[in-house]
Amino acid sequence: MRRPELLIPAGNLEKLRTAILYGADAVYVGVAGLSLRARQSEFTLADLEMGIKEAHQKGVKVYAALNIFARNSDLPNVETVVNHLAEMAIDGIIASDPGVIQLIRKTNPNMVVHLSTQANTTNVEAVKFWANHGVSRIVLARELNLDEVAAIAKMVPEMEFELFIHGAMCMSYSGRCYLSSYLNHRSANQGDCSQPCRWEYQLIEATRPDVPLILEEDDRYSYFLSSKDLCMVEYLPQIVNAGISSLKVEGRMKTVYYVAVVTRTYRQALDSYLQDPEHYSVKAEWIDELNKVSNRGYTTGFYFASEKINEINPTTRYYQSYDMVGTVLEYNPAAKKILVGARNRISLNDEIELLLPDETIKLNVTEMHDEAGVPLRAAHNQYRIILPFDREVPVGAVIRRAATATSSD
Protein backbone atom coordinates (compact mmCIF):
# COMPACT_ATOMS: atom_id res chain seq x y z
CA MET A 1 0.00 0.00 0.00
CA ARG A 2 1.30 3.44 -0.96
CA ARG A 3 1.38 5.79 2.02
CA PRO A 4 -1.50 8.17 1.30
CA GLU A 5 -0.85 11.87 1.46
CA LEU A 6 -2.86 14.23 3.68
CA LEU A 7 -3.45 17.33 1.53
CA ILE A 8 -4.55 20.51 3.29
CA PRO A 9 -5.75 23.87 1.93
CA ALA A 10 -3.47 26.81 2.68
CA GLY A 11 -5.13 30.11 1.83
CA ASN A 12 -2.15 32.20 2.93
CA LEU A 13 1.29 31.90 4.48
CA GLU A 14 -0.01 31.62 8.04
CA LYS A 15 -2.36 28.80 7.08
CA LEU A 16 0.46 27.02 5.25
CA ARG A 17 2.57 27.16 8.41
CA THR A 18 -0.40 25.98 10.48
CA ALA A 19 -1.01 23.04 8.15
CA ILE A 20 2.66 22.03 8.41
CA LEU A 21 2.67 22.35 12.21
CA TYR A 22 -0.40 20.13 12.61
CA GLY A 23 0.72 17.36 10.26
CA ALA A 24 -0.01 17.99 6.57
CA ASP A 25 1.98 15.94 4.06
CA ALA A 26 1.17 18.47 1.36
CA VAL A 27 -0.70 21.75 0.96
CA TYR A 28 -2.39 23.44 -1.95
CA VAL A 29 -2.51 27.16 -2.50
CA GLY A 30 -4.07 29.73 -4.80
CA VAL A 31 -1.88 32.35 -6.39
CA ALA A 32 -2.77 36.03 -6.55
CA GLY A 33 -2.18 37.35 -10.02
CA LEU A 34 -3.17 34.28 -11.91
CA SER A 35 -6.76 34.59 -10.95
CA LEU A 36 -6.45 38.29 -11.81
CA ARG A 37 -7.48 39.35 -8.34
CA ALA A 38 -5.53 39.58 -5.13
CA ARG A 39 -7.58 38.39 -2.20
CA GLN A 40 -6.64 37.86 1.39
CA SER A 41 -7.12 34.18 0.83
CA GLU A 42 -4.44 33.99 -1.82
CA PHE A 43 -0.67 34.12 -1.77
CA THR A 44 1.46 36.76 -3.32
CA LEU A 45 4.29 35.19 -5.27
CA ALA A 46 6.80 36.46 -2.66
CA ASP A 47 4.90 34.79 0.19
CA LEU A 48 4.57 31.64 -1.83
CA GLU A 49 8.30 31.48 -2.45
CA MET A 50 8.91 31.70 1.29
CA GLY A 51 6.16 29.15 1.98
CA ILE A 52 7.55 26.64 -0.50
CA LYS A 53 11.02 26.91 1.04
CA GLU A 54 9.69 26.37 4.55
CA ALA A 55 7.48 23.48 3.44
CA HIS A 56 10.33 21.74 1.61
CA GLN A 57 12.55 22.07 4.67
CA LYS A 58 9.91 20.04 6.54
CA GLY A 59 9.40 17.54 3.73
CA VAL A 60 5.95 18.93 2.86
CA LYS A 61 4.88 19.35 -0.78
CA VAL A 62 3.18 22.45 -2.15
CA TYR A 63 0.79 22.41 -5.10
CA ALA A 64 -0.65 25.52 -6.75
CA ALA A 65 -4.25 25.61 -7.96
CA LEU A 66 -4.57 27.39 -11.30
CA ASN A 67 -7.97 26.03 -12.06
CA ILE A 68 -9.46 28.87 -14.03
CA PHE A 69 -11.09 28.37 -17.40
CA ALA A 70 -8.88 30.89 -19.14
CA ARG A 71 -9.84 33.34 -21.86
CA ASN A 72 -7.30 34.14 -24.61
CA SER A 73 -6.48 37.35 -22.75
CA ASP A 74 -5.56 35.34 -19.63
CA LEU A 75 -2.99 33.16 -21.36
CA PRO A 76 0.04 35.49 -21.16
CA ASN A 77 -0.58 35.87 -17.43
CA VAL A 78 -0.97 32.11 -17.04
CA GLU A 79 2.37 31.58 -18.76
CA THR A 80 4.12 34.15 -16.58
CA VAL A 81 2.80 32.64 -13.37
CA VAL A 82 3.60 29.09 -14.46
CA ASN A 83 7.17 30.17 -15.15
CA HIS A 84 7.38 31.79 -11.70
CA LEU A 85 6.02 28.64 -10.07
CA ALA A 86 8.56 26.51 -11.90
CA GLU A 87 11.39 28.77 -10.69
CA MET A 88 10.11 28.41 -7.11
CA ALA A 89 10.21 24.60 -7.41
CA ILE A 90 6.48 24.14 -6.84
CA ASP A 91 5.68 20.42 -6.56
CA GLY A 92 2.80 20.51 -9.01
CA ILE A 93 0.10 22.61 -10.61
CA ILE A 94 -3.59 21.77 -10.29
CA ALA A 95 -5.41 22.82 -13.46
CA SER A 96 -8.72 22.13 -15.13
CA ASP A 97 -8.64 23.95 -18.47
CA PRO A 98 -7.12 21.86 -21.33
CA GLY A 99 -5.63 25.09 -22.71
CA VAL A 100 -3.87 25.85 -19.43
CA ILE A 101 -2.60 22.27 -19.24
CA GLN A 102 -1.32 22.43 -22.81
CA LEU A 103 0.43 25.71 -22.05
CA ILE A 104 2.09 24.24 -18.94
CA ARG A 105 3.24 21.20 -20.92
CA LYS A 106 4.61 23.39 -23.72
CA THR A 107 6.45 25.91 -21.58
CA ASN A 108 7.51 23.68 -18.66
CA PRO A 109 7.45 20.06 -19.83
CA ASN A 110 8.82 18.76 -16.52
CA MET A 111 6.13 20.39 -14.41
CA VAL A 112 3.91 17.93 -12.51
CA VAL A 113 0.29 18.49 -13.55
CA HIS A 114 -2.73 17.46 -11.47
CA LEU A 115 -6.20 17.60 -12.95
CA SER A 116 -8.73 19.52 -10.85
CA THR A 117 -12.10 18.10 -9.88
CA GLN A 118 -13.58 20.92 -11.96
CA ALA A 119 -12.53 18.99 -15.07
CA ASN A 120 -15.24 16.46 -14.12
CA THR A 121 -13.42 13.21 -14.78
CA THR A 122 -15.99 10.43 -14.46
CA ASN A 123 -14.70 7.47 -16.48
CA VAL A 124 -11.63 5.42 -17.32
CA GLU A 125 -11.31 6.66 -20.92
CA ALA A 126 -11.17 10.23 -19.67
CA VAL A 127 -8.42 9.19 -17.23
CA LYS A 128 -6.42 7.61 -20.08
CA PHE A 129 -6.97 10.72 -22.19
CA TRP A 130 -5.47 12.91 -19.48
CA ALA A 131 -2.62 10.43 -18.86
CA ASN A 132 -1.75 10.80 -22.55
CA HIS A 133 -1.65 14.55 -22.07
CA GLY A 134 0.90 14.53 -19.29
CA VAL A 135 -1.38 14.56 -16.24
CA SER A 136 0.01 12.46 -13.38
CA ARG A 137 -2.80 12.86 -10.84
CA ILE A 138 -6.55 13.30 -11.15
CA VAL A 139 -9.03 14.61 -8.62
CA LEU A 140 -11.99 12.55 -9.81
CA ALA A 141 -15.43 14.13 -10.08
CA ARG A 142 -16.96 14.18 -6.65
CA GLU A 143 -20.25 12.90 -8.11
CA LEU A 144 -18.71 9.40 -8.37
CA ASN A 145 -19.37 6.83 -5.66
CA LEU A 146 -16.50 4.90 -4.10
CA ASP A 147 -17.17 1.72 -6.12
CA GLU A 148 -16.86 3.72 -9.34
CA VAL A 149 -13.70 5.38 -8.02
CA ALA A 150 -12.16 2.01 -7.13
CA ALA A 151 -13.02 0.52 -10.53
CA ILE A 152 -11.37 3.43 -12.37
CA ALA A 153 -8.28 3.41 -10.13
CA LYS A 154 -7.81 -0.34 -10.70
CA MET A 155 -7.93 0.07 -14.48
CA VAL A 156 -5.23 2.79 -14.61
CA PRO A 157 -2.77 1.86 -11.84
CA GLU A 158 -0.09 4.22 -13.14
CA MET A 159 -2.31 7.26 -12.43
CA GLU A 160 -2.46 8.87 -8.97
CA PHE A 161 -5.91 9.71 -7.65
CA GLU A 162 -6.93 12.34 -5.14
CA LEU A 163 -10.31 12.61 -3.40
CA PHE A 164 -11.94 15.15 -1.14
CA ILE A 165 -12.42 13.74 2.35
CA HIS A 166 -13.62 16.80 4.25
CA GLY A 167 -15.18 20.21 3.72
CA ALA A 168 -17.98 22.16 2.10
CA MET A 169 -19.96 20.54 -0.70
CA CYS A 170 -21.12 22.35 -3.80
CA MET A 171 -24.80 22.08 -4.74
CA SER A 172 -24.16 22.39 -8.45
CA TYR A 173 -22.52 19.83 -10.71
CA SER A 174 -18.76 20.09 -10.03
CA GLY A 175 -18.83 23.83 -9.52
CA ARG A 176 -20.65 24.72 -12.73
CA CYS A 177 -22.73 27.50 -11.24
CA TYR A 178 -23.33 31.20 -11.83
CA LEU A 179 -24.75 32.10 -8.44
CA SER A 180 -21.52 33.57 -7.09
CA SER A 181 -20.70 35.28 -10.35
CA TYR A 182 -24.18 36.82 -10.52
CA LEU A 183 -24.49 37.87 -6.89
CA ASN A 184 -20.89 38.73 -5.99
CA HIS A 185 -19.07 39.11 -9.31
CA ARG A 186 -16.82 36.26 -8.24
CA SER A 187 -16.90 33.38 -10.67
CA ALA A 188 -16.96 29.77 -9.49
CA ASN A 189 -15.67 28.89 -12.96
CA GLN A 190 -12.56 30.91 -12.27
CA GLY A 191 -11.93 29.23 -8.94
CA ASP A 192 -13.35 32.13 -6.94
CA CYS A 193 -16.72 31.04 -5.57
CA SER A 194 -17.96 33.08 -2.60
CA GLN A 195 -20.48 30.33 -1.70
CA PRO A 196 -23.74 32.30 -1.79
CA CYS A 197 -25.60 28.98 -1.87
CA ARG A 198 -25.03 29.00 1.91
CA TRP A 199 -27.14 32.11 2.35
CA GLU A 200 -30.70 32.09 3.57
CA TYR A 201 -33.17 32.64 0.72
CA GLN A 202 -36.85 33.50 0.60
CA LEU A 203 -39.55 32.82 -1.95
CA ILE A 204 -41.37 35.96 -3.05
CA GLU A 205 -44.50 36.24 -5.18
CA ALA A 206 -44.10 39.00 -7.78
CA THR A 207 -47.06 41.18 -6.80
CA ARG A 208 -46.35 41.02 -3.06
CA PRO A 209 -42.61 41.69 -2.74
CA ASP A 210 -42.91 42.71 0.91
CA VAL A 211 -44.58 39.49 1.98
CA PRO A 212 -42.17 36.60 1.48
CA LEU A 213 -43.78 33.19 1.43
CA ILE A 214 -42.68 31.28 4.48
CA LEU A 215 -41.40 27.83 3.63
CA GLU A 216 -40.35 26.28 6.89
CA GLU A 217 -38.66 22.94 7.06
CA ASP A 218 -38.62 23.21 10.81
CA ASP A 219 -39.35 26.00 13.26
CA ARG A 220 -35.99 27.70 12.69
CA TYR A 221 -34.70 28.07 9.16
CA SER A 222 -34.94 26.89 5.59
CA TYR A 223 -31.84 26.81 3.43
CA PHE A 224 -32.98 25.82 -0.03
CA LEU A 225 -29.54 25.51 -1.59
CA SER A 226 -27.14 24.69 1.21
CA SER A 227 -25.52 21.27 1.49
CA LYS A 228 -24.17 19.62 4.59
CA ASP A 229 -20.37 19.35 4.71
CA LEU A 230 -18.40 16.28 3.71
CA CYS A 231 -16.73 14.25 6.48
CA MET A 232 -15.07 10.92 5.74
CA VAL A 233 -13.01 10.40 8.91
CA GLU A 234 -14.96 7.24 9.64
CA TYR A 235 -14.30 5.80 6.18
CA LEU A 236 -10.56 6.29 5.64
CA PRO A 237 -10.00 2.55 4.96
CA GLN A 238 -12.61 2.57 2.19
CA ILE A 239 -11.00 5.67 0.63
CA VAL A 240 -7.48 4.26 0.73
CA ASN A 241 -8.62 0.83 -0.46
CA ALA A 242 -10.30 2.46 -3.44
CA GLY A 243 -6.77 3.25 -4.67
CA ILE A 244 -6.57 6.86 -3.52
CA SER A 245 -3.13 8.26 -2.83
CA SER A 246 -4.05 11.77 -1.74
CA LEU A 247 -6.74 12.66 0.80
CA LYS A 248 -7.81 16.23 0.26
CA VAL A 249 -9.47 18.67 2.64
CA GLU A 250 -11.55 21.47 1.11
CA GLY A 251 -11.33 25.09 2.24
CA ARG A 252 -8.72 27.61 1.06
CA MET A 253 -11.02 30.35 2.43
CA LYS A 254 -11.37 28.73 5.87
CA THR A 255 -9.71 30.07 9.00
CA VAL A 256 -6.39 29.22 10.63
CA TYR A 257 -8.41 27.58 13.39
CA TYR A 258 -10.18 25.31 10.89
CA VAL A 259 -6.86 24.36 9.29
CA ALA A 260 -5.34 23.53 12.70
CA VAL A 261 -8.18 21.35 13.96
CA VAL A 262 -9.01 19.54 10.73
CA THR A 263 -5.35 18.84 9.93
CA ARG A 264 -4.61 17.57 13.41
CA THR A 265 -7.67 15.34 13.49
CA TYR A 266 -7.10 13.73 10.10
CA ARG A 267 -3.39 13.36 10.86
CA GLN A 268 -4.26 11.36 13.98
CA ALA A 269 -6.89 9.33 12.14
CA LEU A 270 -4.65 8.56 9.16
CA ASP A 271 -1.70 7.62 11.38
CA SER A 272 -3.95 5.35 13.40
CA TYR A 273 -5.12 3.68 10.19
CA LEU A 274 -1.58 3.29 8.82
CA GLN A 275 -0.35 1.73 12.07
CA ASP A 276 -3.05 -0.92 12.08
CA PRO A 277 -5.20 -0.89 8.95
CA GLU A 278 -7.16 -4.00 9.93
CA HIS A 279 -8.44 -2.58 13.20
CA TYR A 280 -9.12 1.03 12.28
CA SER A 281 -12.11 2.53 14.00
CA VAL A 282 -13.13 6.13 14.31
CA LYS A 283 -12.60 7.67 17.75
CA ALA A 284 -15.30 9.77 19.40
CA GLU A 285 -12.71 12.45 20.14
CA TRP A 286 -12.02 12.93 16.39
CA ILE A 287 -15.71 13.49 15.67
CA ASP A 288 -15.86 15.76 18.69
CA GLU A 289 -12.96 17.84 17.35
CA LEU A 290 -14.48 18.11 13.86
CA ASN A 291 -17.65 19.39 15.51
CA LYS A 292 -15.60 22.18 17.07
CA VAL A 293 -14.92 23.85 13.70
CA SER A 294 -17.52 25.54 11.55
CA ASN A 295 -19.78 23.04 9.84
CA ARG A 296 -23.32 22.60 8.60
CA GLY A 297 -23.67 19.08 9.85
CA TYR A 298 -21.78 16.26 8.15
CA THR A 299 -22.53 13.87 5.30
CA THR A 300 -20.65 11.27 3.23
CA GLY A 301 -21.88 13.04 0.11
CA PHE A 302 -21.84 10.95 -3.06
CA TYR A 303 -19.45 8.24 -1.89
CA PHE A 304 -21.96 5.54 -0.99
CA ALA A 305 -24.64 4.59 -3.46
CA SER A 306 -27.17 4.22 -0.66
CA GLU A 307 -26.53 7.73 0.64
CA LYS A 308 -28.87 10.53 -0.27
CA ILE A 309 -26.52 12.59 -2.37
CA ASN A 310 -25.75 16.19 -1.59
CA GLU A 311 -28.44 16.22 1.02
CA ILE A 312 -29.33 19.66 2.22
CA ASN A 313 -29.41 20.48 5.85
CA PRO A 314 -32.26 22.82 6.63
CA THR A 315 -31.76 22.71 10.37
CA THR A 316 -28.22 23.89 10.79
CA ARG A 317 -26.59 27.23 10.20
CA TYR A 318 -22.83 27.37 10.16
CA TYR A 319 -22.13 26.09 13.61
CA GLN A 320 -18.92 26.39 15.55
CA SER A 321 -18.71 25.57 19.23
CA TYR A 322 -15.22 27.07 19.76
CA ASP A 323 -13.56 30.30 18.70
CA MET A 324 -9.89 30.83 18.10
CA VAL A 325 -8.65 33.50 20.52
CA GLY A 326 -4.97 33.65 19.59
CA THR A 327 -1.80 32.00 18.38
CA VAL A 328 1.57 31.46 20.03
CA LEU A 329 4.15 33.93 18.72
CA GLU A 330 7.07 32.94 20.94
CA TYR A 331 8.05 30.74 23.86
CA ASN A 332 10.54 31.96 26.45
CA PRO A 333 11.96 28.86 28.20
CA ALA A 334 13.92 30.86 30.80
CA ALA A 335 10.91 32.88 31.96
CA LYS A 336 8.47 30.01 31.25
CA LYS A 337 6.13 32.32 29.42
CA ILE A 338 4.42 32.39 26.06
CA LEU A 339 3.85 35.45 23.92
CA VAL A 340 0.38 35.25 22.39
CA GLY A 341 -1.02 37.23 19.47
CA ALA A 342 -4.67 37.74 20.45
CA ARG A 343 -7.31 37.30 17.72
CA ASN A 344 -10.31 37.74 19.93
CA ARG A 345 -11.11 38.99 23.40
CA ILE A 346 -9.27 37.13 26.18
CA SER A 347 -10.21 37.93 29.80
CA LEU A 348 -8.86 36.95 33.19
CA ASN A 349 -10.37 33.64 34.36
CA ASP A 350 -11.19 32.51 30.82
CA GLU A 351 -10.87 28.77 30.29
CA ILE A 352 -8.78 28.42 27.15
CA GLU A 353 -7.27 25.47 25.28
CA LEU A 354 -3.84 25.31 23.73
CA LEU A 355 -3.78 23.02 20.72
CA LEU A 356 -0.46 21.22 20.42
CA PRO A 357 0.04 18.91 17.43
CA ASP A 358 -0.75 15.81 19.50
CA GLU A 359 -2.37 17.13 22.65
CA THR A 360 -4.86 19.71 23.92
CA ILE A 361 -3.92 21.55 27.11
CA LYS A 362 -6.60 23.30 29.15
CA LEU A 363 -5.56 26.54 30.83
CA ASN A 364 -7.21 28.99 33.15
CA VAL A 365 -6.07 32.56 32.50
CA THR A 366 -5.09 33.52 36.03
CA GLU A 367 -2.64 36.24 35.01
CA MET A 368 -1.90 38.12 31.83
CA HIS A 369 0.55 40.94 31.02
CA ASP A 370 1.44 43.10 28.11
CA GLU A 371 5.02 43.06 26.79
CA ALA A 372 6.01 45.87 29.17
CA GLY A 373 4.90 43.74 32.12
CA VAL A 374 1.71 45.68 32.83
CA PRO A 375 -1.01 43.38 34.21
CA LEU A 376 -4.12 43.13 32.02
CA ARG A 377 -7.68 42.19 32.88
CA ALA A 378 -8.65 41.73 29.22
CA ALA A 379 -6.97 41.67 25.84
CA HIS A 380 -8.50 42.29 22.43
CA ASN A 381 -7.77 41.37 18.84
CA GLN A 382 -4.16 42.18 17.88
CA TYR A 383 -2.97 42.62 21.48
CA ARG A 384 0.33 40.89 22.23
CA ILE A 385 0.04 39.33 25.65
CA ILE A 386 2.20 37.21 27.90
CA LEU A 387 0.86 34.16 29.71
CA PRO A 388 2.77 31.90 32.13
CA PHE A 389 3.37 28.41 30.74
CA ASP A 390 5.98 25.89 31.76
CA ARG A 391 6.33 23.75 28.65
CA GLU A 392 7.85 24.33 25.25
CA VAL A 393 5.16 25.33 22.74
CA PRO A 394 5.65 25.57 18.98
CA VAL A 395 5.24 28.95 17.31
CA GLY A 396 1.89 29.06 15.50
CA ALA A 397 0.08 26.81 18.00
CA VAL A 398 -3.58 27.80 18.14
CA ILE A 399 -5.46 28.82 21.29
CA ARG A 400 -9.24 28.52 21.49
CA ARG A 401 -12.13 29.02 23.89
CA ALA A 402 -15.63 27.58 23.97
CA ALA A 403 -18.00 29.91 22.12
CA THR A 404 -20.66 31.62 24.16
CA ALA A 405 -23.09 31.78 21.23
CA THR A 406 -23.48 30.34 17.72
CA SER A 407 -20.93 31.98 15.48
CA SER A 408 -19.82 31.98 11.89
CA ASP A 409 -16.46 30.95 10.54
141 binds ligand SF4 (CB under 6 A): no
Find the part of the chain contacting ligand SF4 (CB under 6 A) among 58-66, 94-102, 168-176, 319-327. Answer: 168-176
Minimum CB distance to ligand SF4 smaller for 51 or for 167: 167
Find the part of the chain contacting ligand SF4 (CB under 6 A) among 61-69, 164-172, 207-215, 376-384. Answer: 164-172
Partners of 166 in the β-ladder: 231, 249
For CA atoms 282, 288, 293, 297, the dihedral sign is positive
253 binds ligand SF4 (CB under 6 A): no
Helix (H) or strand (E) holding 298: strand 298-299
Minimum CB distance to ligand SF4 smaller for 14 or for 409: 409
Q: Are 1 and 277 in contact (CB under 8 A)?
A: yes
Please state whether beta strands 322-332 and 337-342 pair in parallel, antiparallel, or not at all (unpaired).
Answer: antiparallel
User: CA of 113: how far to CAs of 92, 101, 153, in Å?
Assistant: 6, 7, 18
Q: Are 17 and 8 in contact (CB under 8 A)?
A: no
Nearest to 308 by CA among 169, 409, 189, 107: 169
167 binds ligand SF4 (CB under 6 A): no
Question: Taking the complex as a whole, how short is the minimal distance between the CB of residue 174 and ligand SF4, in angstroms?
Answer: 9
Find the part of the chain contacting ligand SF4 (CB under 6 A) among 166-174, 280-288, 290-298, 370-378. Answer: 166-174
Pairwise CA distance, residues 229 & 210, whole Å? 33
17-35 residues labelled b (16+ CB within 10 A) or e (exposed): bbbbbbbbbbbbbbbbbbb
Find the part of the chain contacting ligand SF4 (CB under 6 A) among 45-53, 83-91, 95-103, 165-173. Answer: 165-173
Minimum CB distance to ligand SF4 smaller for 42 or for 160: 42
Find the binding residues for ligand SF4 in span 263-322 (CB under 6 A). none
Question: Taking the complex as a whole, how short is the minimal distance between the CB of residue 171 and ligand SF4, in angstroms?
Answer: 4
177 binds ligand SF4 (CB under 6 A): yes
Question: Taking the complex as a whole, how short is the minimal distance between the CB of residue 12 and ligand SF4, in angstroms?
Answer: 20
Minimum CB distance to ligand SF4 smaller for 20 or for 177: 177
State which of residues 145, 172, 321, 344 lies at the interface with ligand SF4 (CB under 6 A): 172
Minimum CB distance to ligand SF4 smaller for 34 or for 197: 197
Sequence-ordered alpha helix ranges (H) in 69-184: 75-87, 98-107, 124-132, 146-155, 179-184
Question: Taking the complex as a whole, how short is the minimal distance between the CB of residue 169 and ligand SF4, in angstroms?
Answer: 8
Question: Taking the complex as a whole, how short is the minimal distance between the CB of residue 228 and ligand SF4, in angstroms?
Answer: 13
Minimum CB distance to ligand SF4 smaller for 171 or for 339: 171
Nearest to 202 by CA among 220, 186, 183, 221: 221
State which of residues 4, 167, 175, 396 lies at the interface with ligand SF4 (CB under 6 A): 175
Pairwise CA distance, residues 35 & 193, whole Å? 12
171 binds ligand SF4 (CB under 6 A): yes
User: CA of 43: how far to CAs of 12, 36, 92, 104, 250, in Å?
Assistant: 5, 12, 16, 20, 17
With left for phi above 0 and alpha for psi between -120 and 50, is residue 4 left, alpha or beta?
A: beta
Minimum CB distance to ligand SF4 smaller for 108 or for 117: 117
Single-letter amino acid, residue 64: A
Site for ligand SF4 (CB under 6 A): how many residues? 12
120 binds ligand SF4 (CB under 6 A): no
Nearest to 223 by CA among 288, 319, 289: 319
Sequence-ordered alpha helix ranges (H) in 227-372: 236-241, 256-275, 284-290
Binding mask 184-213 for ligand SF4 (x = CB under 6 A): ----x----x-xxx----------------
Question: Taking the complex as a whole, how short is the minimal distance between the CB of residue 300 and ligand SF4, in angstroms?
Answer: 18
> What does the binding site for ligand SF4 look like in residue numbers (CB under 6 A)?
170-172, 175, 177, 179-180, 188, 193, 195-197
